[in-house]
Amino acid sequence: MKIGNLEIEGFAALAPMAGVADRAFRELCADFGSAYCVSEMVSAKGISYHSKKSAQLMEISERERPCGVQLFGSEPDTMAFAAEFSLKYSPDFIDINMGCPVPKVNSIGCGCQLMTDPELCRRIVEAVSSAVDIPVTVKIRKGIDDDHINAKAVAQACEAGGAKAVAVHGRTRAQMYKPYADWNIIREVKEAVRIPVIGNGDVETAADAARLLEETGCDMVMVGRGAMGNPWIFSEINAYLSEGVVLASPTLSERMNIMCRHIEKLCEYKGEDVGMREARKHIAWYIKGLHGAAALRNDAGRLRTLDEFYSLIKRVMLTQE
């Protein structure tokens, strides 16, 4: 697949998840074969105010490429400024968030709220595309609710504005992340535009990825929650779709080693204090389904140091014997 002049290899990309898809997690998913990654969403206004946090969110390492910076905002000029500013971090593309369902983002006219005004969506994409010399992509949803399903119209508006690809999450804003995603809307968007369409929603296995591609005709799949505590899903998808091979799930020891790599990088990049606080949710995802997982999750929620984390890993190994 090509996004503008950017060659993308592979079948599945990592979704831009706030509070989850940070640099440590993106690198890990890239190691397992994610076709590309996208940063956590960055506030365009935050960039215009020279926010230190916004700058940190845009840091990209060579290990995770190709990788884009995702921006959110509602003002074309501000979005254009933010996109141009982000070039100092050398992203491979700019992604515009038009799909976040979180109330605090939508209440300021950003995220999925933008889908209520396709013409504004077009103007934002046009402004950003004019400001940078790298491809611009967009992430959208089915619509804001069941009475306002307009993914096709928004995708067409974004294409008219210069977007080089669009990722479609098959749920409305009102649905958040439940019930099941509607893959039919992904097919409808694919039939309505000429640019690549990336399908998103309920891809939790390699078989899910294959079915989404077959049922919708989309060009690639995007994995979000299916990768949490399960970054090896990308290698499973690639093996299944390229060779028809079903990879064995990692052993418990392998899973703990992967988790260890992840949490150590998290602490390296953010410091042990912040890193361990953020690690707690990841650990809960990695140990999901294990014997005694509820008690282990409770203990993980109190971890403060890497030494305590290593002790927890030893307990996990002992409790599964």
Return the active site residues.
100
Residues 25, 30, 31, 35, CA torsion sign = positive
Q: Give the type of residue at 252.
A: L
Q: Give the type of residue at 44.
A: A
C-alpha distance from residue 8 to each of 34, 69, 118, 219 (Å): 10, 16, 28, 11
Exposed e or buried b per residue across 60-90, where buried means at least 16 C-beta atoms within 10 angstroms of its C-beta: beeebebbbbbbbbbbbebbbbbbbbbeeee
Q: Give the type of residue at 141.
A: R
Confirm if 64 and 87 have CB atoms less than 8 A apart.
no
Say how many residues make up the chain: 321
**DSSP conformational letter for 88:** G
Listed in sequence order, the residues at least 6 apart from 252 whose beta carbon sits closer than 8 Å to its beta carbon are 290, 316, 317, 320
H or E element in which residue 157 lies: helix 151-161
Confirm if 96 and 138 have CB atoms less than 8 A apart.
yes
Residue identified by tokens 């890239």 is 30
Listed in sequence order, the residues at least 6 apart from 282 whose beta carbon sits closer than 8 Å to its beta carbon are 20, 25, 228, 229, 259, 262, 263, 266
154 closest CA partner among 189, 130, 128, 181 = 189
Maximum separation of any 2 CA atoms in the chain, in Å: 59
